Amino acid sequence: MKNDLLCLKTIYKFLFEWSSPLLLLTFVFSPKIFYSVRLGDLFILFFLVAFIPEWLSKKNIELFPEEKAGLLFLLWVSVVSFFSLIIGVNCGGGRMALTLGRFIEFGAVYALAATSNKNYSKTLLSAKISVLFLLLWALFEAFFGYFMDNYEYIRTFNEGFFEGEANHVAGAIAILANLSSILFLPGFIAVFFSGSRIALVGLLAGAIRIFCSEKSRIGLASLVIVVLVIIMAPSIWKARYMDSLQLDSIYSGPHVDRFHSWKIAIEETPVLWGTGLGSRPSGVYESLYVMIYAETGIVGLILLIATFAVRFVRQQNINSVATALIVLSVLSLTMNTLIIARVSLPLAIILGTFRKN
């Protein structure tokens, strides 16, 4: 009996120390099991339940300013979404529950990472394993997985295990790859093959950290290689990126539908409180800023931006957290970042792990 207890205690201690690195890995190995719920969500639930005794034992929780702003955001979106259901503007109860559930999950994973024994090196190791694994996956898919022909480009992370998730996986890589100068180049190659334009912009925006780092030589060499790859890559790989740079494509390409949706959604929004989470399918927004404004009003948008902006300002320099926030702010231009588990989960872990930075 005593041995059993000792064994359980050892397992608990192991989980406590390794929760952040293990959770970080779940985004790579987490397939969908039904609707938008993933195996990783159940894994997170397991950790949350396991750590309830730990949280209950803390009698006083110190809240930082950004955490208070985050809680006010959660309170606000809960209230406006609840009332939007009651008054009938919102007819998407299931969508509302799932979206709000994602915000709660983001906060819970953040709290988990902030409570557990924060170990930078283990989390970084986990990020390195994830990015290198995804690089190998991308290279395999790009050169062996699918055949090419001359009328279209190939996107990695869009078939098989990662079906339809090129942008999501690339977004997560953009956040993780900027944790370390060494990860930047592998991350760039994986993102480049994914064809995700916004993730590539986010990754390059986060690269500002490389110039601020003491190991800037590695970063500088990486950026030179990046420029060479962009210039010398075969046109089939560049086509998706080059097309975005052609001004006339704005009037004939896929961008128009997105702008059109944004315009309608913004026009219909009650400015202060929005239409409630889930009032439309999230696919019509494809922008976190527009989505939050349309569904929770200007108050919700201000509280969300304040949550991350306060955290950014509190950083003393451009470090891992600041970089992750820069990438987040770029990704959110054309992605519903916070409700995409593959992107938001690694971000929550990074923010939580470096809570006291």
Based on CB atoms, which residue is closest to another protein, 54 or 268?
A: 268
- List the beta bridge partners of residue 38: 32
- Is residue 289 within the footprint of another protein (CB under 8 A)? no
Based on CB atoms, which residue is closest to another protein, 63 or 227?
A: 63
Phi, psi (rounded to 5 degrees) for 33: -110, -35
Based on CB atoms, which residue is closest to another protein, 25 or 114?
A: 114
Which positions ≥6 away from 264 have C-beta within 8 Å?
Answer: none
Based on CB atoms, which residue is closest to another protein, 296 or 353?
A: 296
Number of residues that bind another protein (CB under 8 A): 54
- Residue among 2, 52, 57, 94 that touches another protein (CB under 8 A): 94
Q: Return the amino acid letter for 67.
A: E
- Residue among 75, 227, 266, 271 that touches another protein (CB under 8 A): 75
Q: Is residue 268 a contact partner of residue 294, using CB atoms and an 8 Å limit?
A: yes
Minimum distance from residue 183 beta carbon to another protein (Å)? 28
DSSP for 129-167, written as a single string: HHHHHHHHHHHHIIIIIS---TTS---TTSSGGGTT-HH
- Is residue 146 within the footprint of another protein (CB under 8 A)? yes
Q: What is the three-class DSSP state of 148?
A: coil
How far apart, in whole angstroms, are the C-alpha atoms of residue 196 and residue 87?
A: 39
Residue among 350, 330, 328 nearest 339 (CA): 328
How far apart, in whole angstroms, are the C-alpha atoms of residue 31 and residue 162?
A: 8
- Is residue 97 within the footprint of another protein (CB under 8 A)? yes
- Is residue 85 within the footprint of another protein (CB under 8 A)? yes
Minimum distance from residue 132 beta carbon to another protein (Å)? 25
Placement of tokens 């001004």 in the chain: 247
Residues that bind another protein (CB under 8 A): 60-63, 68, 71-72, 74-75, 78-79, 81-82, 85, 88-97, 100-101, 103-104, 146-147, 149, 151-152, 159, 163-164, 252-254, 256-258, 260-261, 264-265, 268, 275, 278-281, 283-284
